[in-house]
């Protein structure tokens, strides 16, 4: 807090210094030298624009320019001198230069700001693509690890538990090999859509790899987990339309819980995977707990 106050104080001292320096110098230098020292206020243009942005910066600098002009007029009236044509032209030109520099600097800063925003949007899109499965649009393995690690932190903090479902499609390799990869991709997209419809609002579906999917279910009991698993099996029992024909496929689901079945990403996922293989050995199209 003290550092922030110090930085703010230093900033305003610097701004005020550059703004009033020409006026101070006027007291010691001839009037025809004074206008050249107006350029000493240019650092304030950059300081104010960078600190407050284009809109607020222009407002502040316009006010400062008006104050300087009035100060000039006041000085002449105060001393009883007449403002010569040369002096008037000098004051006008210097202020026009100052305004021009302000406008050009503002345009330049706005251009930089726009480019920064465009770059940020691009970076956000790239980050999203890195964490999303390109085929199904689901979060991918990379996102899954980050998500589960975050769930572990939240569960420890609020004394809750969550569940991980590891789902593998039965007969997917057969369909993929006989009908082709394009048809297999179409099937995976349809499966992803059905899985998203089957889970609860706060549950998240991930595509791990190939025909493997993982579902993370927040703050859930064993009974609620059974309901979700049964709903998935029921939804997946409806025929899929592949190349204009009906095809059937079923899921084998393994379920693990945090913290009972592991307290790290690797252990939780590994145990859910083991439970999934048990489901396959027991006839497929079913779910098993660790």
Biggest CA-to-CA distance, the chain? 106
Return the closest-CA partner of residue 213 out of 260, 257, 170: 170
Residues in CB range of 30: below 8 A, 6 or more apart? none
Of 124, 211, 219, 273, catalytic: 211
Q: Tokens 């099937």 map to which residue?
A: 187
User: What's the CA gap between 193 and 137, in Å, rounded?
Assistant: 10
User: What's the CA gap between 63 and 165, in Å, rounded?
Assistant: 64
User: What's the CA gap between 88 and 75, in Å, rounded?
Assistant: 13
Catalytic residue flag (residue 203): no
User: What's the CA gap between 94 and 34, in Å, rounded?
Assistant: 10
User: What's the CA gap between 22 and 39, in Å, rounded?
Assistant: 8
| Residues with a known catalytic role | 211
């Amino acid at each position: 807090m003290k550092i922030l106050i110090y930085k703010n104080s230093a900033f305003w001292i610097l701004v005020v210094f550059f703004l009033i320096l020409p006026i101070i110098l006027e007291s010691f230098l001839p009037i025809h030298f004074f206008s050249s020292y107006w350029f000493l206020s240019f650092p304030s243009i950059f300081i104010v624009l960078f600190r407050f942005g284009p809109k607020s910066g222009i407002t502040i600098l316009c006010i400062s320019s008006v104050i300087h002009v009035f100060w000039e007029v006041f000085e002449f009236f105060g001393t009883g001198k007449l403002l010569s044509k040369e002096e008037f032209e000098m004051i006008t030109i210097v202020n026009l230069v100052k305004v021009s520099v302000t406008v050009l600097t503002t345009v330049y800063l706005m251009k930089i700001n726009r480019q920064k925003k465009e770059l940020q949007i691009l970076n956000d899109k790239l980050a999203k693509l890195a964490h999303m499965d390109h085929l199904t649009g689901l979060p991918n393995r990379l996102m899954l690890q980050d998500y589960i690690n975050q769930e572990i932190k939240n569960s420890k903090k609020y004394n809750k538990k969550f569940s991980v479902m590891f789902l593998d499609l039965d007969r997917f390799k057969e369909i993929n090999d006989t009908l082709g990869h394009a048809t297999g991709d179409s099937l995976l997209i349809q499966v992803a859509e059905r899985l998203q419809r089957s889970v609860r609002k706060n549950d998240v579906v991930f595509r791990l790899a190939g025909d493997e999917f993982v579902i993370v279910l927040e703050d859930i009991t064993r009974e609620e987990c059974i309901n979700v698993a049964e709903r998935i099996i029921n939804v997946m029992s409806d025929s899929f339309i592949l190349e204009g024909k009906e095809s059937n496929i079923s899921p084998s689901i393994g379920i693990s819980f945090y913290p009972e079945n592991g307290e790290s990403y690797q252990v939780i996922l590994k145990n859910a995977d083991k439970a999934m293989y048990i489901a396959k050995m027991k006839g497929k199209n079913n779910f098993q707990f660790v």
